[in-house]
Chains A and B, each alone.
Chain A
């Protein structure tokens, strides 16, 4: 099965990004394909490399990064949602005149078209959030 995953909630605040991760990992471990994980709304906060949880807690951002490394997973943060919430990569920093970036490795910032395209390409779009 070819899945696309949408994550609509921020990490730690809401279980959605945990559930999305567990689902994505389980699907990949079972040999399914995950075409893309798309982070929208507060879900874009999954993709900041500045995330620093207590040491005895799960590291949600690093978990995504490790999964992406293992399976060459496409992790896409919505540009419009990211701009509102201060998630910045090199390109955005240049365009918007910002003095820093915080996008995590293996994540990329792109447009909402990537979400719609994922819906078209995948056999199932699975949405995590309220």
Chain B
């Protein structure tokens, strides 16, 4: 572990990665992941959020949930910036496999390859996988 981890309580800043892998409404993981990100923002950690596999659908533009009678929580992703959660990443292969491009997404992201995702994960100290 690095020196930073031994700092006194309150002063520790760790690299946190939230990995979102599931579509937004088929299960509750996406919504409850977003809740951790928002609460976690108060702890002022070094936060990154990654969308991969079906998780890329969480930030797809034009979500309409009326037909399934669930709350459309996708506008909340646009608010992440106000919580100083600004490092949003999307895996390129996941977009390609689903016929999506960066233009289909409702927030600005950095698109990275699967190999870069691997490097991103390697850098982290805490990974939440949802």
Q: Which of B28-36, B54-62, B79-87, B92-100 contacts A (4 or more CB under 8 A)?
A: B28-36
Docked Cα-Cα span, A100 to B77, in Å, equals 36
Docked Cα-Cα span, A102 to B5, in Å, equals 37
Q: A113-B42, A119-B16, A120-B14 are in contact. Are A41 and B35 (CB under 8 A)?
A: no
Looking at chain A's contact residues, the main secondary structure is: helix
Question: Counting CB contacts under 8 A, is A53 at the interface?
Answer: no
Interface contact A127-B12, CB-CB below 8 Å? no
Point out the residues of chain A lying under 8 angstroms from B16, CB to CB. Answer: 116, 119
Docked Cα-Cα span, A125 to B127, in Å, equals 8
A108 to chain B, nearest CB (A): 17
Looking at chain B's contact residues, the main secondary structure is: mixed
Point out the residues of chain B lying under 8 angstroms from A120, CB to CB. Answer: 12, 14, 43, 45, 126
Point out the residues of chain A lying under 8 angstroms from B130, CB to CB. Answer: 8
Interface contact A41-B29, CB-CB below 8 Å? yes
Query: Which of B1, B32, B126 contacts A81, CB < 8 Å?
Result: B32
Query: Which of A8, A84, A125, A129 contacts B126, CB < 8 Å?
Result: A125
Chain B 5-30 per-residue mask, 1 if CB under 8 angstroms from chain A, else 0: 10001001010100000000000110
Query: Which of A6, A8, A112 contacts B39, CB < 8 Å?
Result: A112
- In this complex, the interface size class of chain B, counting residues with CB under 8 Å from chain A, is 20 to 34
Chain B 104-130 per-residue mask, 1 if CB under 8 angstroms from chain A, else 0: 000000000000000000000011111
Interface contact A111-B32, CB-CB below 8 Å? no
A42-97 interface with B by 8 A CB criterion: 80-81, 84
Point out the residues of chain B lying under 8 angstroms from A6, CB to CB. Answer: 128
Point out the residues of chain A lying under 8 angstroms from B9, CB to CB. Answer: 121
Which residue of A has the minimal Cβ distance to B22?
A130
Docked Cα-Cα span, A6 to B18, in Å, equals 14
A93-129 interface with B by 8 A CB criterion: 111-113, 115-117, 119-121, 123, 125, 127, 129
List chain B positions with a Cβ less than 8 A from chain A: 1, 5, 9, 12, 14, 16, 28-29, 32, 35-36, 39-40, 42-43, 45, 126-130
List chain A positions with a Cβ less than 8 A from chain B: 6, 8, 40-41, 80-81, 84, 111-113, 115-117, 119-121, 123, 125, 127, 129
11 inter-chain pairs at a CB distance below 8 angstroms, sorted by A residue, are: A40-B32, A80-B35, A112-B36, A113-B43, A115-B40, A119-B14, A120-B14, A120-B43, A121-B9, A123-B5, A125-B128
